[in-house]
Amino acid sequence: MNGKHIKVFGRVQGVGFRFFTAQLAKKYNIIGSVKNVSDYVEIYGENDDLEKFTNGVIQGVAPASVVENYTVEETTLDEKTKHFKTL
Positions marked active-site: 18, 36
Residue 25: count of CB within 10 angstroms of its CB:
27
Residues in the chain: 87
Instruction: Report the C-alpha gap between 3 and 48 in whole angstroms.
Output: 9
